[in-house]
Each structure stands twice: as C-alpha cells, then as structure tokens.
C-alpha cells in the first residue's frame, strides 16, 4: 500500500543559516514547513564563516554610499534583537565571539580616508577606543583604533540553537539515493519521495512551494529541476587558521581602502584560542599553496600587529566557496531570490543578510492557510547534526617556520 503523503505549505532544501532562519519565520507565520538537509547543518559556508554581522563596512570604506551599503546597514540591529530574544528567530543563548569589531589602519592616506568613509557611511558608527580599552595586541598600536559595534557570533552555536528549536521540522536525507521528485509540464514541483536513510521506508511530500536554500548545492539542484537561468557563481576564499596561546581579537586591519586582514577569535575543543584570518588575504591566496598562504599570513599578521609573538602558534588553512547568484564574478549587491513556478532559489550573499532574504520569501508567499491535512509521525526519521568547524576537521597543523613548501 502507498504511504499517505504529507502536504506542506513550504519545503526547504538546505539547513544553513538561510534555510534555518526561513524555517523559523515561516513556522511562526503559520506555514506548515519542513526542511531537508543532506549532510550536516551549515556545512559549506555558515560553519566556515567568520560570523561577523556586517553593517556595510566594506562598502563604506570606499567612501560613497551604494545600494549594497544601504541594503546591509540595518542588519546589525535586526540580529541584535534576535540575539537578545526580542524578535524571531529567538537566538538568545547563541554564543558571541565579541560584541564589537576593532578597526585599525596601516599607515597611508587611502587607509585613513577609508576610516573616515566608514564614519560617514555606516549606521552603526565606529568610535575611538582608548589604549587601555583595546584588546591586548592593539594596546601598543601607534595609530588610532576604533570600536565598531558589529557583533561577531559563533556560527556553530547559532546553528545548534535553531536546529534544536526546529528538530521536529528538520529531516536528514540521503540526497543521492533517497530523493526523487515529479515535475509537471510547467516545471512545478508536485511531489517529492524520500527514503528514510536508516530504514529505506518511503515518505511522500506534496509541497505547495519549495525553497532551494542549499548554498553551493543550489546549482546542482537547479540543474536537476531543469531551471537553467540565471545561474550560480562561486567565489573561493583561502582562509588561514591559527591556534595556540593567542589573545582574543575580532576586527579588521584596513589597508588601501579595504579590510586587508579580518581576524575573528574562537576556542577549539581543546580550549585553545583559534584565529580565523580572512579579508583580502583570503582572496589573494586563492590558487596559492598552503605553505605560501601560511607564510603570507604570518607576514601580514606581524605587519598588522607588530607586538604579537607567534612563537609556538600553529597554522592551517581551508578553502571555502561563497555561493551566490551569478553576478559576473562580482559580489551581488544584496540577497537574491528567484521564483520559477512553485520553486524559489535563495542565496543570502552574506550571513548578515539572511533576515532580509527570509523577508523576501515571506513576501512572495500567499497568506498561510489553515492546514487540516493529517500529521504524519516523523519521530523515527533521522535528524541532521550540526557541522564541525574547519579547525576541528583540519588534519595538518604547522608552526609558521616548518611549513613544507609542497603542502597544499
Ligand atoms: C570563509 C567565509 C567567511 C564568511 N564570513 C562571513 C561573515 O563574517 N559575515 C557574513 O555576513 N558572511 C560571511 N560569509 C558568507 C556567509 O557565510 C554565507 O553567505 C551564508 O552562510 C550562506 O548561508 P546558506 O544557508 O545560504 O548556505 P550554507 O551555509 O552553505 O548552507 C547550505 C546548506 O545546504 C545543504 N545542502 C547542500 N546541498 C543540499 C541538497 N541537495 N539538499 C539538501 N541540503 C543541501 C548543505 O549541507 C548546507 O547545510 C562568509 C563566507 C565564507 C565562505
């Protein structure tokens, strides 16, 4: 006998920050919603991200307000409310790496002008930090250091909080061998058949609307669903991680009008401080070997923080792809949402922009209707776990002096 299908208002594919945030908002708004995750929550970008809730610094540094800077500047306040439990999703309890970022600039006119642009262009404005209020590695910095009230979240903690709140509505699937679908002649996705990854029992879903929120997985999903244009672009970052007896620091060193080095700090499972080092470094080092990237990172860190002692600090690297709607290789101005038939494709472009993407999905949906279809007991279905951050997966660590030149 065929199993009775589960009718849904919205089916979400992908459980990163975007999928989980939408799941929460749609559920709160009364839509019967289910999220499918093929690996672990946030694998791809969210778990690899630096967790900065940007308010548009990168754009403001260029000195003129753009569409992109206007789009992003309200986001820190929106996140602050969610993190404070004053607005859905309720992210109260999410660990914060820091309540603010530090800004300091290498000597040079463009860097100084950039900092001025930041003061003029941002809604959350940087304010000068007296030396004794600065993080330790910046206390002896001879130039100005500013405090920018952009929070830095622990992405793994946010994924855990949202994943736990919606455990009933998140299913782990085997996308390769446990996912089939029917499209009608107009390309509407009518039915999805899942096989329970543990028991192989089938489950049929009849979704009214489908949202692809699978980050880099959206490209292959769109191909499979015969959605051809517009397509996806990926922009890689070669990030550096450093661990050991490091001071806590979250912020951007500005050089030549851009965040040259972006450092965020966390703690690993052995209680060591871990720095994620990105910014222009991570873009410039794409295509470089692991060894070259670590040597460059060491040089740049010591230039940005001359008082720092890197003896005994171990280094690793990881590559992560930013997945976005195609924009000729440039970062899109904001989040992107396409609707084709009953399928939407969603890319937030930035973690900070996830709330705006979620609002756009809600705007495109008809009001939630009372859904009297019988509930199906999904308690036996496996649930996705939260992804491990790259430094907990990283196998090879080297101190900066002992990096073999051929290691990638
Ligand atoms: C190194 C790095 C640092 C960054 N730092 C910042 C930052 O500091 N601040 C900021 O605002 N932004 C930052 N970003 C950007 C930000 O991380 C992303 O914009 C955001 O996390 C994207 O979230 P997402 O949910 O769309 O995608 P992802 O986090 O990639 O999640 C996609 C999910 O879909 C799942 N999936 C894939 N295929 C399928 C399928 N077929 N079926 C079901 N599930 C599937 C994946 O397993 C994953 O769980 C950074 C990005 C990178 C790479």
Distance 46 CA to ligand 1 centre (A): 4
pTM metric for this prediction: 0.95
The model's pLDDT over 35-92, given as tens digits with 9 standing for 90+, comes to 999 999 999 999 999 999 998 776 667 665 666 666 788 899 999 999 999 999 999 9
Q: Which residues line ligand 1 (CB under 6 A)?
A: 13-19, 36-39, 41-46, 48-52, 54, 175, 213-217, 221, 237, 239, 278, 320, 322, 347-352
What pLDDT, on the 0 to 100 scale, is given for residue 169?
96
CA nearest ligand 1 atom 31, residue: 16
Distance 314 CA to ligand 1 centre (A): 26
Q: Which atom of ligand 1 is nearest to the CA of 52?
A: 8
Probe residue for ligand 1, chosen from 266, 320, 350 as the CB with the greatest number of ligand atoms within 8 Å: 350
CA nearest ligand 1 atom 5, residue: 49
Distance 48 CA to ligand 1 centre (A): 8
What pLDDT, on the 0 to 100 scale, is given for residue 122?
64
Q: Which atom of ligand 1 is nearest to the CA of 217?
A: 38
Short-list 259, 241, 342, CA closest to 11: 342
pLDDT value at 19 more than 90: yes
Distance 138 CA to ligand 1 centre (A): 31
Are 80 and 151 in contact by the 8 Å Cβ rule? The answer is yes
The model's pLDDT over 212-234, given as tens digits with 9 standing for 90+, comes to 999 999 999 999 999 977 789 99
pLDDT value at 312 more than 90: yes
3-state secondary structure 85-129: CCCCCCCCCCCEEECCEEEEECCCHHHHHHHHHHHHHCCCCCEEC
Distance 213 CA to ligand 1 centre (A): 9
What pLDDT, on the 0 to 100 scale, is given for residue 398?
86
CA nearest ligand 1 atom 52, residue: 49
Mean pLDDT of the region 294-304? 97
The model's pLDDT over 360-387, given as tens digits with 9 standing for 90+, comes to 999 999 998 876 666 778 988 999 999 9
Mean per-residue pLDDT of the chain: 91
Are 317 and 390 in contact by the 8 Å Cβ rule? The answer is no
Q: Which has more confidence, 394 or 362?
A: 362
């Amino acid at each position: 006998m065929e199993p009775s299908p589960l009718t849904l208002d919205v089916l979400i594919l992908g459980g990163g920050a975007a999928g989980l945030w939408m799941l929460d908002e749609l559920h709160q708004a009364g839509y019967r919603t289910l999220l499918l995750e093929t690996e672990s929550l946030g694998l791809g970008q969210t778990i690899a991200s630096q967790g900065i809730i940007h308010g548009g610094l990168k754009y403001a540094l260029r000195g003129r307000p753009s569409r992109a800077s206007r789009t992003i500047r309200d986001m820190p306040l929106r996140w602050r409310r969610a993190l404070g439990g004053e607005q859905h999703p309720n992210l109260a309890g999410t660990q914060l790496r820091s309540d603010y970022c530090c800004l300091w600039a290498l000597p040079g006119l463009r860097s100084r002008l950039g900092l001025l642009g930041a003061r003029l262009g941002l809604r959350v404005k940087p304010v000068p930090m007296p030396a004794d209020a600065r993080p330790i590695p910046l206390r002896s910095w001879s130039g100005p250091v500013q405090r920018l009230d952009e929070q830095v979240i622990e992405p793994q903690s946010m994924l855990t909080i949202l994943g736990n709140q919606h455990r009933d509505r998140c299913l782990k699937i085997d996308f390769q061998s446990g996912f089939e679908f029917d499209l009608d002649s107009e390309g509407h996705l009518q039915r999805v058949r899942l096989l329970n990854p543990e028991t192989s029992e089938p489950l049929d879903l009849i979704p009214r609307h489908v949202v692809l929120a699978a980050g880099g997985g959206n490209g292959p999903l769109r191909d499979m669903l015969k959605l051809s244009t517009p397509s996806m672009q990926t922009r890689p970052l070669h990030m550096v991680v450093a661990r050991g007896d490091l001071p806590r620091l979250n912020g951007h060193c500005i050089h030549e009008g851009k965040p040259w080095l972006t450092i965020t700090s966390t703690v690993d499972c052995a209680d060591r401080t871990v720095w994620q080092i990105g910014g222009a470094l991570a873009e410039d080092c794409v295509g470089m070997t692991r060894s070259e990237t670590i040597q460059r990172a060491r040089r740049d860190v010591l230039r940005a923080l001359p008082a720092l002692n890197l003896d005994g600090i171990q280094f690793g690297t990881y590559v992560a792809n930013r997945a976005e709607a195609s924009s000729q290789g440039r970062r899109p101005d904001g989040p992107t949402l396409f609707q084709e038939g009953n399928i939407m494709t969603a890319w937030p472009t930035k973690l900070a922009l996830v709330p705006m993407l979620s609002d756009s999905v809600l705007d495109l949906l008809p009001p939630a209707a009372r859904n009297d279809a019988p509930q199906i007991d999904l308690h036996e279905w496996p649930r996705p776990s939260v992804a491990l951050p790259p430094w907990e997966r990283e196998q090879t660590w080297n101190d900066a002096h002992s990096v073999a030149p051929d290691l990638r």
